[in-house]
Each structure stands twice: as structure tokens, then as C-alpha cells.
Amino acid sequence: MPGPALSVARPDEHPDRILSLRGITKRFGAVRALTGVDLDVHVGEVVAIVGDNGAGKSTLVKILAGVHPADGGSIRFFGQLTPIDSPTDSLDLGIATVFQDLALCDSLDVVSNLWLGRELTRAGALDEVEMEKRSWGLLRELHARITDVRVPVASLSGGQRQTVAIARSLIGDPHVVILDEPTAALGVSQTAEVLNLIERLRDRGLGVILVSHNIADVLAVADRVVVLRLGRNNGEFRASETSSDALIAAITGAMDHSRRGGDDPE
Amino acid sequence: MRQGPRRVAEHPDTAARTLPELVSSGVVRARTGDLGVAPVLIGLAILWTVFTALNPVFLSPTNLVNLTMQSAATGVIAIGIVLLLLIGEIDLSVGSVSGLAGAILAVGSVQLGLPLPIVLLAALACGPLIGLVYGLLYTRFGVPGFVLTLAGLLAALGAQLQVLGTAGSITIPFDSAIVQFGQQLFVPAWLMYTIDAAVVALVAWRLVAEARRRAEAGLAARSTAAIALRVGALALLLFACSWYLHQDGGRGVGAMVLLFVILVAGTHLLLTRTRFGRAVYAVGGSVEGARRAGIRVARVQISLFVLCSTFAAIGGILAAARLAGANQSSGGGDMFLNAIAAAVIGGTSLFGGRGSAFSALLGVLVLTSISLGLTLLSLDSSVRYIVTGAVLVLAVIVDSVSRRSRAAAGRA
Ligand SMILES: Nc1ncnc2c1ncn2[C@@H]1O[C@H](COP(=O)(O)OP(=O)(O)O)[C@@H](O)[C@H]1O
Ligand SMILES: [Mg+2]
């Protein structure tokens, strides 16, 4: 539970705070993947989570996505204490996750993937026309470079697949979109495309959690940067007021910010 | 055949698809390893040509009526196998489950003299019950379906022998309604033509309505010519079949055959037009992807085991009706192998995620054609086993090769 120094106990205090995690802990057997991690996400904000390999970024994402339940700590959603025990719980709250491995169904086409698990129906049958129409609308809004929505996603390029995964996350009108290493497998121009996309998500008023270990990307789009190191918070920075050197120092542990972890930025 | 209705929508702004486009997209699909039911259709054409050349009786209406009647029971069982193969699982016990259902039917109606509806219900019920047990064990303990249903095969066989008791073999009287249904009930020609016309009208109406909605939504829609071609082909196929089976003393379409075709069509609609069907293909494509999309994977898996065993029970009832009885070897021998072979020969992938309900229909036609064709040539089952085995290997090779070329073309 949050200590007295933390200021999230009162729901009405931060009306624009979508998500608030306190003291999140997760073990895998003997491995302590996360220890007492705190994180806040606000409306219209891009929060970057950075850290070295194995820092626990993906684990944190999976806890929010309901893939693994947390062992300890609290999750508040718009101030309400809310357990997230399954992917369905997470989706129902309005948390949409784009996983590092995308988790697309390769043999299904673009439209099917976009609407998977929340298909539109008409008189009990799939409403392919409406789904395809809205898919085009969404893809156009995201300026996606996809010319055929009825091909299996396996036949798309890495950037296109990433776009499909991001577009899919928007189908349920989420409050928060989580992107785990969205640019890790992409080339330069595709990376730029995805970063543009992230800015469009923020402009829609969504909270965005961007997991990355690419400092340049993070500084380019994030509002706030949360550093994880060895499964703990190791500092929190405003992107506009920090430098890549400071971030790298926090990531590698040259600078120990761990006591400051979870400090309220405001 | 691929999941879902396929449009090759080049772009939403291109108003209509022309015939050449249709053809070229088919060629692209074939080249990228998306063969659908094409191989089995070609195979069936070759088989029929060869058998007819060797003995013209093969193509006679009487023989084809016989062929459809002999296909129905195994075909129904094969539908269930298709469903499980779609998620990369298999049920080896469908033969003994069908035998058990047949035994319950025979014992209940003959030895116990119970009213037919109750006996039918009891025989049918053993399917979903067994499937539920499989599904729960599969999802709770992660027991591979292969082993689980192998154990089930033995258990169901034991249950079948227990039900049959010392009698061992029970004959259902010829005048029993169920035997009449299985052997004597044929759909009258006029009714068959009415059904054909209704189906054609329904499909035409749906295609036109869909094309109109797509055009209104600014999406690529089938041109009127393409729709006419499709509907025309369907009409030709249905009416030609109905007509030909009534020629030269052919008895037409058996009630059992109609039931089989209805079950195939119903399963096809379930798979392509419903959220459940979409979930099945998703689970077959990627369990983890489906789970993270919020699909309740365990429910899908349990439902499919239940459906598969249910189809097996229906198949067993049909077999008992057609053979007017049940005995200790009902559903035994190569029954389950034939059902599995039919699904695979029909084009359902062994690797999960690909296949269609129609592969049960086409696959079982191939198997029964081989069996009847060789019988007409006075060759015994030794040859049939060998030929069937060869065809099965061929089908699996086609499946593996097309999977590989899909991967190469990035359409895994
Ligand atoms: N499913 C799992 N089982 C066991 N250990 C895991 C599992 N997932 C992650 N870990 C461990 O937890 C730690 C954090 O991993 P992860 O969250 O993937 O790091 P990051 O995404 O920051 O690179 C690592 O030591 C990793 O080995
Ligand atoms: Mg990671």
C-alpha cells in the first residue's frame, strides 16, 4: 500500500490521472523482476519507461495488460483501487497493450486482427462491412501505409504490422495505450512513422506508456521519463528538462536515483 | 479454403472487381500457398475420371446415390475432426464414441423397448458428455489431445461393449423409424429442387445485399457479373446434382445425406460468420495472440471438443440407422482413421488455423469414391487401404508444401 508520502490516496485529487501504480512487486521464482515500482499516467501524456535489458519493463507492461498478476502493490484506475487479473480485465478498463511481440494472429487478415475479440455483429453474424469500413477510417486517421486490409498480417512489413497492432489497440476506445518496444525491430523511416503515431495518440487525449531503450526516441516523443533499473524505480525526468547523458546515467546505475523513485512530479 | 469471406480489396476507392482481377488474385493465392479446396477438387476429378474409364458403372446415378449414402456417417464425424484440427488438436476416439452412440441406440430401442426420441437423446448425449470431459482435462491439466483421446478411445470402446452386453450384436427391426430414415427415406425430387432454389435465392440475395452495403460504405464490392457467375455456378451445381441422382432409377438425395450437407453448411456458417468461428481461427493461428485479444481460449477449446464428440455421436447414430443395428465392431476398425483422413484430404491443415467445413464433405467423397471404385473393379480392401494411404500422404504433402510456400511468401 502507498506510504503517507505518496499523494494518490484521494481519488479527486488528480482528476486527470488515469493510472496510478504503487509498490508493484513481481517475482518469477527466485527472480525479483519488480520491486516496489511506482508509476503514474495522465490524460494526454506520453510516459516513457526506460531501462536496460532485464530491468523489468516488459514485466510491468504485462502486469498492466493482465498477462501476469502482480504479487504485491496497488493499481488505481481513475483513483479507484482496481485489481487486474486477466487480459479481459485490462481491456475492459480501457488499457490497450501493444506487446513487444505484437501478439497478432498471423493467419488472420488485417480487419480480423483489428477487431479480434471485439467483433461487430449484425443480426448475430459478423458485420464485415462495418468492420472493414471503420478499419479503413482508423488506418487513414493514423496515416497508415496499408493498401489491402484483407491480406493475412503475416504478409505485411514490420512497420505495417506495428501499425496494425497500434491501430488494434485503439479499437476499444481505450484510456491508456501501452507500447512495449514499438520501434525495436524497425528501420529509420518506419520508426519515425511510429513516433508520429504516438504523438497522434497523445493528441487524442490518451495516456501513452512507451517502453523503450532507445533514448533518442524517448526524448523525441515523451513528456515524462521513468527509469527502471534492476526491477526498481531509478529516477523520473521531464523529457524537456533532461539530457540523454542524465538518462543513461540513471539507466546504467552511474547515478542512483532509486530513493527518489515514485516522487510525484508535480 | 480460408477463414472468413475474402475480398481482395485492392483499395476502398476502386469501385468494383473485374473478372480478370478475380482470376489473377486466385493465381496469386495459389502461388503463395493458399490452395484452399482446389487440390481436393482436382483429386476428385482425377479419381472419378479414372474409375469411370475403368468401369462406366461408377458414374451411374445408382452408384453415386450409393456413394453419398455411404459417405454421410463418416462425413459427419469428419466435420468434428475438422473443427479440432483448426486449433491443431485431434480426437482419436471419434470411432469408439460413434460406436457407443450406436450401441445405446440399438440396445435402448430394441432390448429395452424405449421410445425412439428418448433413445436418440441418450445416444446423442454421450457425445457432448465425453467431449466435455476431454475439454476440461485438456484445459485444466494441459494433457495433449492425442493422448487424452487415445485413453478416451479405450474407455468409450469399453463402454460400448458393456452397453451391448452378452448379446454382442443387435439388429434394429427394418420397420423402425430410425432404420427407415437411414435406408429408405429419400428427399422427393420436387422438394429437393425447392430446397436448391431456396438456397440459390438466399445466397444471391445475400451477395447482392452485401455488395450494395459495401458500395454504400465506399468499399470494394463484387461486380454484378461476378455475383451472377457465383450464383450461376452454385445453381448449376445444386440442380445438376439433384437432377442426376434421380436419373435412371437413382433414388435421389437420401435424408441422411441432406442432414450431412446441412451440418456441413451450418458448420461453415458458424466458422465464417460468427464471433465464435473467428475465435476458433484465432486460437488455431496463435493461442497467445487470441488470449491477449481477450478471447477466452479455454472456452473455445472445450466447445470444440464438445462439438467434435457430438458430431461423432451423430455419425454413430447415422451408421447404426444405415446398417440397421450395432455390434461390437461398430465404429471400430478404420472408422476414426477414415474420418481423420477425410478432414485432411479435404484440405484442412494439420498445423492448425486453416481449413473449412467443406473439407469434411470433399474429403469423405474422395475416400468413399476410392472404396466404391475399387469394389467395382473387384479389388478388395487390401488395395483400398494402400490407395487411401497413398492419397492421405499426398494430401499431407500438399499441406506441408503449401505451408512452406506461404511462409516463403510471408503469408504464414
Ligand atoms: N515469464 C518469466 N519467467 C521467468 N522470469 C521472467 C519472466 N519474464 C521476465 N522474467 C525475468 O524478469 C526480469 C525482467 O524481465 P523483463 O521485464 O522482460 O525485462 P525488460 O523488458 O526490461 O528487458 C528478467 O530477469 C527476466 O529474466
Ligand atoms: Mg522487454
Instruction: Report chain A residues whose CB lies below 8 A from the CB of B218.
Output: 133, 136
- Which of A171, A187, A218 represents a domain boundary (last residue)? A171
Domain containing residue A44: CATH number: 3.40.50.300
What are the pLDDT digits (tens) for B209-245? 999 999 999 999 999 999 999 999 999 999 999 999 9
pLDDT of residue B15: 38
Residue B247 has a CB neighbour count (10 Å cut-off) of 12
Are residues A60 and A23 part of one domain? yes
B402 pLDDT higher than 70: yes
As for how many domains chain A has, the answer is 2
What are the pLDDT digits (tens) for B308-323? 999 999 999 999 999 9
Are residues A104 and A25 part of one domain? no
Beta carbons of B116 and B177 less than 8 angstroms apart:
yes
Q: How far is the CA of A57 from the centre of ligand 2 (A)?
A: 6
What are the pLDDT digits (tens) for A24-49? 999 999 999 999 999 999 999 999 99
Are residues A256 and A200 part of one domain? yes
Domain that includes residue A71, residue range: 1-94+174-266
Cβ B10–A154 below 8 Å, yes or no? Answer: no
| Cell output for B89 | 488438436
Confidence of residue B30 (pLDDT cuts 50, 70, 90): low
| Helix B38-54 × helix B381-408 angle, to 10° | 150
Average pLDDT over residues B168-197: 94
Name the residue among B387, B398, B326 with its Cα closest to residue B359.
B398
Average pLDDT over residues B343-355: 90
pLDDT of residue B138: 97
Residues making up chain A, counted from first to last: 266
A210 pLDDT higher than 60: yes
Are residues A186 and A89 part of one domain? yes
B36 pLDDT higher than 80: no
Are residues A178 and A52 part of one domain? yes
Of A39, A53, A59, the one to substitute when testing ligand 1's pocket (max ligand atoms within 8 A of C-beta) is A59
A178 pLDDT higher than 70: yes
- Which of A142, A171, A200 represents a domain boundary (last residue)? A171
pLDDT of residue B13: 39
Of residues A11 and B349, which shows the higher confidence score?
Answer: B349
From chain B, which residues contact A within 8 Å (Cβ)?
3-12, 32, 210, 213-214, 217-219, 273-275, 278-279, 281-282, 284-286, 288-296, 353-354, 406, 409-412
Are residues A181 and A148 part of one domain? no
| Cell output for B264 | 456441413
pLDDT of residue B167: 79
B17 pLDDT higher than 60: no
Classify B345 as helix, strand or coil: helix
Instruction: Report chain A residues whose CB lies below 8 A from the CB of B6.
Output: 109, 150
pLDDT of residue B31: 59
Q: In sequence order, which residues have a C-beta less than 8 Å from that of residue B23 and are 6 or more positions away?
A: none
Are residues A120 and A69 part of one domain? no
- List residues, by chain if needed, whose CB lies under 5 Å from ion ligand 2: A 58
Confidence of residue B23 (pLDDT cuts 50, 70, 90): low
Class of the domain covering B38-185+254-411? mainly alpha
pTM: 0.85
Instruction: Report chain A residues whose CB lies below 8 A from the CB of B219.
Output: 129, 132-133, 136
What are the pLDDT digits (tens) for B58-103? 999 999 999 999 999 999 999 999 999 999 999 999 999 999 999 9
What φ, ψ does residue A18 adopt, rounded to 5°?
-80, -55
pLDDT of residue B4: 37
pLDDT of residue B37: 81
Q: What is the average pLDDT value for chain B, to the nearest integer?
A: 90
What are the pLDDT digits (tens) for A81-117? 999 998 889 989 999 999 888 789 988 999 999 999 9
Domain ranges of chain B: 38-185+254-411, 193-253
Which segments within A156-200 are labelled E, that is strand?
Answer: 176-180
Are residues A185 and A61 part of one domain? yes
Beta carbons of B259 and B72 less than 8 angstroms apart:
yes
Residue A216 has a CB neighbour count (10 Å cut-off) of 11
Cβ A212 under 6 angstroms from ligand 1: no
- Which of A171, A196, A215 represents a domain boundary (last residue)? A171
